[in-house]
Amino acid sequence: MSTNFFRTVQSSFRHSVYRPSHITSIRQFHTTLPKMTVHNFETAEAFKQAIQENKVVLLDCFATWCGPCKAIAPILAKHSNDEQFKDIYFGKIDVDDLPELSQELGITAMPTFLLFKDGKAEPAERLVGANPNALVSILKKHIE
């Protein structure tokens, strides 16, 4: 057998000994679960119910194939766990899964962020594009 084969086996063995597979790359020091999250709406009814039940709702309209949507998703998740935005309900819809709702909301580009306030069906704010600074300014504008 070749020496490359033995090196590969040695390397695999070394990694399994020093980095057991049952230990994940999750931060081990984090002791509490996040309080908030970004809710993925599967139906238009779930989205409309969230608007009625929450004072402020931020909706992320995204597509799975959209690069900027993938880039801003972790930033949105971070803001959903931020204590200063605890009163904002974060949600998202896949525009390809809910095309009727996307058309009803007037989504023409992804990502589009819509902020709904006080149960109204018309958005109070609209942000088109993956602009983290503008997103934060919209969130700060509508916190209590």
Indicate left, alpha or beta for 36 from its phi (over 0: left) and psi (-120 to 50: alpha). beta
3-9 LR contacts (CB < 8 Å, sep 24+): none
**Which residues are 114's β-sheet partners?**
59, 126
Q: Give the active site residue among 61, 69, 76, 139.
A: 69
Going by C-alpha positions, the residue among 48, 67, 55 that lies closest to residue 109 is 67
Whether 61 is catalytic is no
φ/ψ of 120, rounded to 5, equals -80, 140
Q: Give the active site residue among 51, 57, 61, 66.
A: 66
* Distance from C-alpha of 39 to C-alpha of 45, rounded to nearest angstrom: 14
Q: Catalytic site residues?
A: 66, 69
